[in-house]
Amino acid sequence: MTDPTGSGIDQAPPPECPAHAGAVPLSGLEYQQTPSQLYRTLRREHGAIAPVTLDGGIPAWLVLGYSEVSYVTSHDELFARDSRRWNQWESIPADWPLMPFVGYQPSVMFAEGTEHQRRAGVITDALEAIDQFELAHLCREIAEGLIDAFAGSGQAELMAAYAHALPMRAVVRLCGMPADGVDTDDLVRDLRISLDADEGDDPVAAYVRVMERMQRLVKDKRNDPGSDLTSRMLSNPAGLTDEEMVVDLITVIAAAQQPTANWICNTLRLLLTDDRFALNVSGGRLSVGQALNEVLWLDTPTQNFIGRWAVRDTQLGGRHIKAGDCLVLGLAAANTDPQIWPEGHIGAENSAHLSFSNGEHRCPYPAPLLADVIARTAIETLLERLPDVVLAVEPHELTWRPSIWMRGLTSLPVSFTPVVQ
């Protein structure tokens, strides 16, 4: 197959080479429901850097150690974001399932150096203009409307009816799109497929549809700007082109929606199943904050992130990393690294987790604060409106989506005393 990147880099050794002996596939894993078992096994057998294979047997490295992930993400001169460096492109078909993650685009995600600073600066400036109190008010308004739709029934499936719907409605409002309707519902579905496809889904086609929707939005805001995130990005002195705007908007929306939705749902699961929170969960703001932080340590929504590409031959965690090798950032594994938590105890007040990554390419400020506003408001509003909410199934019956990338439940069924409207 012709190298689509035009990089001219020689292909790396195949997976059966000594460096990837014993590599574990990161697809179809039996550990998908309890990935912590996988991370412990890999750490025990391989140390902080484990040889793995991606879909189709493509070799990569999974970085498991907290110190190692921190090192990779803070040394862009050694481990960079431009995926055109990858030495495996000749082995990868155009319809590869992970192409939405790794196929190079002129976006902030793959930009480096001064270009990344320019692009990230536009996003940061636009996000900083968002009033957090106004965002909380918007999220509460959305939450009240969503809860009204099921409050009278005494039961709900919160993953679809609440946790996924709320952050998406919030982010589309911030971007200047209608908060509901068929178009928004289709966008939610296609974002999920492109980030975390079920069997039979086409993530590449879904991503194309997302891109087409963003192209229409950018065109509309060029012609009729408003006081929204999209218009602020367009008016920034950096002068992003329409192509740059589209791919960077997708990055912002994708980062705001699915990870935040899973953060909400994973935290609700913790609050509803862990006795430490059960006594104070109803209206307990401190408990909600502790639960949100604990989830980022133990059940972080973004389990693994692909990735970084070695700029040149180097050493990491006792491994010889070749130029063009792909490194997958094991954020969840790093957060539970026994080297930083030797007693296996996670400090609820400690926020030094890597759930928003690290270094220049971490989630840009103030995005984590805005995500916290959305998640905290969603949870507190639900608990205030439905103070006796409980799981409608046994905790062990809850199942996780079969993904090595994202950590989220397939559903969260609950019951409560029906609310008379």
The structural domains of the chain, ordered by start, are 18-415 (1.10.630.10)
**Alpha carbons 304 and 14: distance in angstroms, whole number:** 23
**Nearest CA among 159, 9, 193, 202 for reference residue 90:** 9
Question: Over the stretch 406-417, which tens digit does the pLDDT of each residue have?
Answer: 899 999 999 999
Contacts of 229 (CB under 8 A, 6+ apart): 126, 127, 130, 174, 175, 176, 252
Torsion, Cα of 52, 54, 59, 64 (10° steps): -30
**Alpha carbons 100 and 289: distance in angstroms, whole number:** 33
For the ranges 81-90, 244-253, 336-345, the one whose mean pLDDT is highest = 81-90
Chain centroid offset of residue 226 CA: 28
Q: What is the three-class DSSP state of 177?
A: coil
Task: Report whether pLDDT(307) > 70.
Answer: yes
Q: How confident is the model at residue 378 (pLDDT cuts 50, 70, 90)?
A: very high
Neighbours of 145 (CB within 10 A): 14
Report the amino acid identity of residue 295.
Answer: V
**Nearest CA among 366, 349, 290, 292 for reference residue 132:** 366
Tokens read off for 140: 């509460």
Q: Are 61 and 328 a contacting pair, CB within 8 Å?
A: yes
Region 56-64: what's the mean pLDDT? 96
Region 272-299: what's the mean pLDDT? 78
Mean per-residue pLDDT over the chain, rounded:
88
Query: 227: exposed, middle or buried (C-beta count within 10 Å: 0-12, 13-18, 19+)?
Result: exposed
Write down the pTM of the prediction. Answer: 0.89
Region 54-61: what's the mean pLDDT? 94
Region 257-279: what's the mean pLDDT? 89
Question: Over the stretch 113-163, which tens digit does the pLDDT of each residue have?
Answer: 999 999 999 999 999 999 999 999 999 999 999 999 999 999 999 999 999
**Is the Cα dihedral 32, 36, 37, 42 positive or negative?**
positive
Contacts of 145 (CB under 8 A, 6+ apart): none
Task: Report whether pLDDT(96) > 80.
Answer: yes
pLDDT top residue among 69 and 191: 69
Tell me how far CA of residue 311 lies from CA of 89, 242, 417, in angstroms: 16, 30, 58
Q: How confident is the model at residue 2 (pLDDT cuts 50, 70, 90)?
A: very low
**Alpha carbons 191 and 201: distance in angstroms, whole number:** 12
Region 52-65: what's the mean pLDDT? 95
**Alpha carbons 328 and 247: distance in angstroms, whole number:** 22
Neighbours of 6 (CB within 10 A): 9
Run of H or E residues at 68? helix 66-73
Residue 341: predicted pLDDT:
79
Query: 39: exposed, middle or buried (C-beta count within 10 Å: 0-12, 13-18, 19+)?
Result: buried
Task: Report whether pLDDT(212) > 50.
Answer: yes
Chain centroid offset of residue 290 CA: 20
Residue 7: predicted pLDDT:
35
Residue 12: predicted pLDDT:
41
pLDDT top residue among 347 and 235: 235
Q: What is the three-class DSSP state of 186?
A: helix
Region 247-251: what's the mean pLDDT? 92
Task: Report whether pLDDT(377) > 60.
Answer: yes
Neighbours of 15 (CB within 10 A): 20
Residue 11: predicted pLDDT:
38
pLDDT above 70 coverage of the chain, percent: 87
Contacts of 205 (CB under 8 A, 6+ apart): none
Residue 195: predicted pLDDT:
67
Residue position matching structure tokens 């506003």: 373
Residue 8: predicted pLDDT:
33
